[in-house]
């Protein structure tokens, strides 16, 4: 009998569970489906706190939840079938009810557990027992923004105008009776995800518009700081511009910190949105616009705006870094020149001191020899008189030897020090 392999990767079970993390519920016709999309603060622990709040609500109503670590929870109330899904930065609450259900904010699905979340999207899909949309639904949409398409290669039809109603729900009319139950459920899920990711992808645009003036100010300041940079010569001017670039680098980093995650998320949501639109396999019915055209004409420019700001920010950061490097090199070169001048001055001072020292040594030799000869003159007066030698001639003969001896003595003393 074989023994199970003992060395499993710590994420193996998570990978296996991800295949079934968000099952698709089979859905019937004549159903009204609503979904709320809510975001949580981008702080550590906020999503975990939201899950804990939901689990507390589930315990209060006696709902038994799936295993620990699940990200999708489904339960039933007397009137609704409810699904909660927890994503990386947002939560979706989806519920199925009767087609005549007019309650947009029911109190039995746990919305009170999301007190700290913020609503960013709300949608409603009426799933009709029709193979094509009846004429009665068209007058309820705005003609200027009407999207009317067939989906699933013509086996179903979908209409919306992306205009929120009085309670800010985006309404879709979906004639899906021509689809098999499982295919109908997949298509419904793609419709909901299309609107979910459209909303999440567009979250980057208001932030881009809000940050654009600060980025423009930073670009203008950078231009003024690096203008005529090669012509400045005063060290104080160089230091002042370096401080300005360092402050600008700090401000640019703060802008990047604010934008990077939001823009990266928008790009990812945009990519998912494109795939969901492709999977719908839509075709225009000749009236209004197609979903891909309508959404693309609004989402793609928004993502392009975010991308352009991303590139501007990267260019600004690069220029600031190069300016700081250039000024650092300039300051380093100036310091080398100053150090060379100081060393030359020190060398010149040392040379002058050496020359002065030699001069003093020469003068000292003459002075010491003079006084020493005077002492010898007095000391030898008696002996020279007795010997009968001439004092002047004797001193003149001794004088060179005295000078040489004093010079040698001073030289030995200087070398010893």
Dihedral, CA of residue 358, residue 362, residue 367 and residue 372, to nearest 10: 110
Cα separation, 117 vs 37, whole angstroms: 10
Same domain, 146 and 227: no
**So what's the pLDDT on residue 189?**
95
What pLDDT, on a 0 to 100 scale, did the predictor assign at position 151?
Answer: 95
Residue 154: Cβ within 10 Å count: 15
Residues 75 and 17 occupy one common structural domain: yes
In whole angstroms, what separates CA 285 from the centre of its chain? 44
**What tokens appear for 212 in the block?**
């654009």
Residue 33, domain member (yes or no):
yes
Domains identified in the chain, total number: 3
Residues 355 and 337 in one domain: no
Query: Could you tell me the pLDDT band of residue 239, with boundaries at 50, 70 and 90?
Result: confident
Same domain, 216 and 323: yes
pLDDT given for residue 116 in this prediction = 83
Instruction: Quick: pLDDT tens for 198-230.
Output: 999 999 999 999 999 999 998 888 888 877 666
* Calpha distance 32→40 (Å, rounded): 27
Verify that 88 and 175 share a domain, yes or no.
yes
Model's pTM, two decimal places?
A: 0.77
Domain assignment of residue 194, yes or no: no
Domain end point (choices 310, 341, 372) = 341
In Å, what is the CA distance from 376 to each residue of 383, 394, 404? 11, 10, 15
- The model's confidence at residue 11, banded by pLDDT at 50, 70 and 90, is confident
Q: Which helix (H) or strand (E) holds 276?
A: helix 235-280
Q: Is the dihedral of CA 160, 162, 166, 169 positive or negative?
A: positive
- Backbone φ and ψ for 340, nearest 5 degrees, come out as -65, -40
Shared domain check, 355 and 293: no
pLDDT tier at 356 (50, 70, 90 boundaries)?
low
**2: in domain:** no
160 — pLDDT class (breaks 50, 70, 90)? very high
Are 283 and 194 spatial neighbours (Cβ–Cβ below 8 Å)?
no
Residue 243 and residue 333 in one domain: yes
* Within a domain: 8: no
- One domain, residues 23 and 147: yes
Residue that has been written with the tokens 């030897």 in this structure: 401
pLDDT at residue 401 in the model: 74
Domain with 381, as residue range(s), is: 350-416
Nearest-angstrom CA–CA distance, 344 and 348: 6
- Asked if residue 89 has pLDDT above 70, the reply is yes
As a whole number of Å, the end-to-end CA separation of the chain is: 93
State the average pLDDT for the chain.
84
Write the CA distances from 75 to 55, 57, 115, 156, 351, integer angstroms: 12, 12, 20, 28, 95
- Give the per-residue pLDDT at 328: 75
Same-domain pairing of 102 and 217: no
User: Would residue 199 count as lying in a domain?
Assistant: no
Measured CA to CA, the distance from residue 95 to residue 34 in angstroms comes to: 6
Domain boundary among 316, 341, 366: 341
Q: What percent of the chain lies above the pLDDT cut of 70?
A: 86
Lowest mean pLDDT among 21-25, 181-185, 212-216: 21-25
3-state secondary structure of 3: coil
In a domain, 120, yes or no: yes
- Residue 417's pLDDT is 62
Does the pLDDT of residue 379 top 60, yes or no? yes
Say if residue 126 is in the same domain as residue 98: yes
The verdict on 289 and 322 lying in the same domain is yes
């Amino acid at each position: 009998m074989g023994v199970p392999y003992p060395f499993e990767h710590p994420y193996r079970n998570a990978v296996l569970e991800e295949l079934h993390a968000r099952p698709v519920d089979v859905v019937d016709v004549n159903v009204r489906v609503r979904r709320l999309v809510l975001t949580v603060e981008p702080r550590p622990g906020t999503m975990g706190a939201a899950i804990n709040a939901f689990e507390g609500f589930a315990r209060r109503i006696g709902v038994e939840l799936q295993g620990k670590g699940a990200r999708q929870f489904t339960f039933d109330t007397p009137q609704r079938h409810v699904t909660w899904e927890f994503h990386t930065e947002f939560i979706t609450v989806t519920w199925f009810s009767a087609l005549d259900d007019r309650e947009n904010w029911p109190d039995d699905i746990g919305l009170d557990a999301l007190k700290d979340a913020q609503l960013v999207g709300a949608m409603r899909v009426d799933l009709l027992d029709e193979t094509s949309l009846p004429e009665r639904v068209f007058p309820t949409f705005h003609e200027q923004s009407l999207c009317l398409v067939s989906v699933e290669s013509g086996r179903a039809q979908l209409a919306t105008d992306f205009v929120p109603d009085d309670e800010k729900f985006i309404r879709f009319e979906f004639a899906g009776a021509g689809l098999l139950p499982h295919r109908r459920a997949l298509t419904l899920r793609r419709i909901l995800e299309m609107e979910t990711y459209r909303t999440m992808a567009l979250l980057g645009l208001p932030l881009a518009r809000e940050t654009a003036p600060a980025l423009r100010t930073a670009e203008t300041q950078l231009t003024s700081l690096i203008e005529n940079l090669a012509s400045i010569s005063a060290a104080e001017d160089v230091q002042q511009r370096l401080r300005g670039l360092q402050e600008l680098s700090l401000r640019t980093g703060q802008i990047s910190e604010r934008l990077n995650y939001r823009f990266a998320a928008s790009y990812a949501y945009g990519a998912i949105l494109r795939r969901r639109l492709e999977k719908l396999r839509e075709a225009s019915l000749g009236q209004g616009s197609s979903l891909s055209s309508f959404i693309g004409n609004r989402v793609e420019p928004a993502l392009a705006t975010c991308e352009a700001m991303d590139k501007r920010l990267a260019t600004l950061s690069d220029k600031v870094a190069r300016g700081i490097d250039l000024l650092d090199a300039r300051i380093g070169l100036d310091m080398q020149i100053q150090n060379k001048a100081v060393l030359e001055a020190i060398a010149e001072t040392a040379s002058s001191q050496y020359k002065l020292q030699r001069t003093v040594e020469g003068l000292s030799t003459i002075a010491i020899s003079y006084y020493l000869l005077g002492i010898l003159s007095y000391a030898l007066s008696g002996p020279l008189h007795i010997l009968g030698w001439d004092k002047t001639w004797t001193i003149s003969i001794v004088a060179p030897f005295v000078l040489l001896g004093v010079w040698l003595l001073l030289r030995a003393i200087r070398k010893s020090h």
